Amino acid sequence: MTLSWFQIFRLGLVQMALGSIVVLTTSTLNRLMVVELSLPAILPGLLVGLHYGIQMTRPHWGFMSDAGGQRTRWIIGGMAMLALGAFIAACGVLVLESSFAMGLVISVIAYALIGLGVGASGTSLLALLATTTAPHRRAAAATITWLMMIFGIAMTAGVVGSLIDPYSPQLLIEIVGIVVLTAVAVTCLAVWRIERGLKVVREPDPTPFRQGLAEVWAERRARNFTLFVFLSMTAYFMQELILEPYAGLVFGFTPGQSTTLSGAQNGGVFIGMLAVGIMATGLKIGALRNWVMAGCLGSAATLAVITLLGPLGPGAPLLPAVVGLGFFNGMFAVAAIGSMMALAGQGRGQREGTRMGLWGAAQAIAAGFGGLVGAGLVDLLRLSFTDAQAFGAVFLFEATLFIAATIMAAKIMEGKAPSATLVPGE
């Protein structure tokens, strides 16, 4: 038995809940530390980096959901851990006002819990989707769940932003408490009896984690796809920290205009994801590999356009180019996620969660690494070149990585639906 459209939507609610909690830590608490508490911006940056680093545990969570017989408990348990971490993080912001040392200790513990919760819940959810979604619905399932996550992020950011003024510590705790409790409740309702209804509860597996991970790493396709995820996601995140500064320094954008630019890029991501879901599943046009390659090549082309606009300076049509970049980024991302779901079941049985965890860890490392490399290269190049030349060189390097990812996708991904079995090592 496979998931119905309604059940896919229900599991998408879990992704929405995940996004709703995570955005509190990356936007609201980040802003409070920097603006209200006048702390250096590097502090929330390092805390968010910790949350990404902790997600290297994703293979472990995926393996435990494989071996434990049920994924539902890991999805709910991870969400509860994430909710607790976010609430403690809010408390940590309040403590930072009176004691920096104690507040920092609390915040480190909180963001570690956030990373563990995202890893446990997110990895187990993707593994459940991978094992229970019909092959012809995977692109649409990836689209639905990721669009719901984006909706959760946008909705929570908007609602919290309107409710938190005028700011007070008590109001912060109340709002965060309501958000995290709602997210846990929604998660429990979303996954209730889905596994049992589909009869996908498995027998516990006594294999040790290291042996299970080694078995997956021995599969050439799983290993190659891990490298592809790291390469492509490094390219995907490289512009994250430098696009708005580029708009301000080279094109004269105000803070408000650069924020609008970022929103427009996310709008392009949304449309790109939606397009792949409709075309690949609804109209059955193109294999996922082709959509991945198109998204990577389109991203490279729009990055080249953004670079060429640099010498034109203020007045150049940067906005449509950035929307185009978002569109192709979204196309690539959702097709890659659909491909993950397809490939997770290829190879040794009962290792879907371990594969998803391995790829999730590669993505999390790439997110931090890509942003850091992009920002570091710009700082280094600005010492010798103009702003337009420095940023442009980094964007072209990013485009090169996308082209390399396209070539890799062509070699390691199948144009048709994968076969039902794969011998380890093939």
Dump pLDDT digits (tens) for 224-261: 999 999 999 999 988 887 888 888 889 988 866 776 78
- Average pLDDT, rounded, for the chain: 87
- Averaged pLDDT for residues 302-317: 94
d(CA 197, CA 147) in angstroms, rounded, equals 25
User: What is the distance between the terminal CA atoms of the chain, rounded to a whole angstrom?
Assistant: 28
Residue 424 has pLDDT above 50, yes or no: no
Whether residue 329 contacts residue 272, with contact meaning beta carbons closer than 8 Å, is answered with: yes
Residue with tokens 């071996």: 67
Measured in whole angstroms, the distance separating CA 268 from the mean position of its chain's CA atoms is: 16
Reported as half-sphere exposure (CB side, CA atoms, 13 A), residue 367 has a value of: 16
Contact by Cβ (8 Å): 16, 81: no
CB 124 within 8 A of CB 338: no
Tokens of 246: 């580029």
Of 257-266, 287-296, 307-316, give the lowest mean pLDDT range. Answer: 257-266
Q: pTM of whole model > 0.85?
A: no
What's the pLDDT score for residue 295? 96
Q: Is 362:318 a contact under the CB 8 Å cutoff?
A: no
Radius of gyration for the chain, computed over Cα atoms and rounded to the nearest angstrom: 21
Cα–Cα distance measured from residue 79 to residue 179, given in angstroms and rounded to the nearest whole number: 12
Average pLDDT over residues 359-369: 88
Average pLDDT on 315-322 reads: 92
Tokens matching residue 196? 């049992």
Which residues, including other chains, have CB under 8 Å from residue 9's CB and lie 6 or more apart? 144, 148
Other beta carbons less than 10 A from residue 291's beta carbon = 25
CATH 1.20.1250.20 for domain 207-415, yes or no, is yes
Instruction: Indicate the length of the chain as a whole number.
Output: 426
Q: Which CATH number fits domain 1-202: 3.40.190.10, 1.10.3720.10, 1.20.1250.20, 3.30.1360.40?
A: 1.20.1250.20
Res 151 pLDDT > 90: no
Say which DSSP state 384 is in. Answer: T
Check: CB of residue 62 under 8 Å from CB of residue 358: yes
User: Residue 426 has what pLDDT?
Assistant: 35
* pLDDT beyond 60 at 267: yes
Nearest CA to 404 among 307, 291, 299, 272? 299
pLDDT digits (tens, 9 = 90+) for 67-99: 876 789 999 999 999 999 999 999 999 999 999
Determine the pLDDT at residue 418.
39
pLDDT at residue 16 greater than cutoff 80 = yes
Q: Residue 224 class from Cβ within 10 Å (0-12 exposed, 13-18 middle, 19+ buried)?
A: middle
Cα 113 to Cα 111: distance, rounded to the nearest angstrom: 5
Indicate the Cα dihedral angle 163, 168, 173, 179, nearest 10°.
10
> Cβ(244)–Cβ(322) under 8 Å?
no
Ordered by start, the domain boundaries in the chain are 1-202, 207-415
**CA–centroid distance for 302 within its chain:** 21
Give me the pLDDT at residue 420, please: 34
3-state class (DSSP) for residue 241:
coil
Band (pLDDT 50/70/90 cuts) for residue 416 is: low
* Structure tokens belonging to residue 319: 């906005």
Q: Taking the CB of residue 423, how many other CB atoms lie within 10 A of it?
A: 9
pLDDT at 419 over 60: no
The answer to whether 355 and 212 have CB atoms below 8 angstroms apart is no
